[in-house]
Amino acid sequence: MAKRTIFNIIPDLKKNALLIFFKYKGFMKKKGHRPVTRVKNLEPNIENPDWVIWAAWADRITFEEIEKKTGHNESGVIKIMRRSLKPSSFRLWRKRVNQKSIKHRKKFEYSRKQITSKIKKGDYL
């Protein structure tokens, strides 16, 4: 067996340093092109009963979509919200749902038609 001298040790140190460098470099790489957005209220799993509450608070999810995914119609969602929220939170939610036309698909489509009928192509040029 060869005697370990300083000349034999240096290549091993370089090799170990390169391995450590490339492992570190791989650790520092970007995971993807898009940044990760942190959301305050993450979407729960659809099997979780909290999903109905989350979807009811979300503005862009209509009652029709909730019924399609879970089977709870609008009155069922209202009952769930009444049971699970504090009275003041339930009142705030009801006020919000009644003011927003987007929670009901037909009201949303009607309001979109009204907006588009008021806008003429020559107005913004």
C-alpha torsion angle, residues 99, 105, 110, 111 (rounded to 10): 40
Q: ∠54-65-113 over CA atoms, to 5°?
A: 115
Which residues, in sequence order, are CB contacts of 102 under 8 Å at separation 6+? 59, 60, 62, 108
Say if 10 falls within a structural domain. no
Number of separate domains in the chain: 1
Say if 74 falls within a structural domain. yes
Say if 59 falls within a structural domain. yes
- Residue 53 to residue 98: CA distance in whole angstroms: 16
pLDDT digits (tens, 9 = 90+) for 74-105: 999 999 999 999 999 999 999 988 886 677 77
Say if 77 falls within a structural domain. yes
Say if 104 falls within a structural domain. yes
Say if 69 falls within a structural domain. yes
Say if 12 falls within a structural domain. no
Which domain range does residue 109 map to? 50-118
pLDDT digits (tens, 9 = 90+) for 28-64: 555 556 666 676 767 888 888 899 999 998 878 888 8
- Residue 75 to residue 80: CA distance in whole angstroms: 9
Say if 4 falls within a structural domain. no
Residue spans of beta strands (DSSP E) within 7-111: none
pTM of the model: 0.54
Under 8 Å between Cβ of 87 and 94:
no
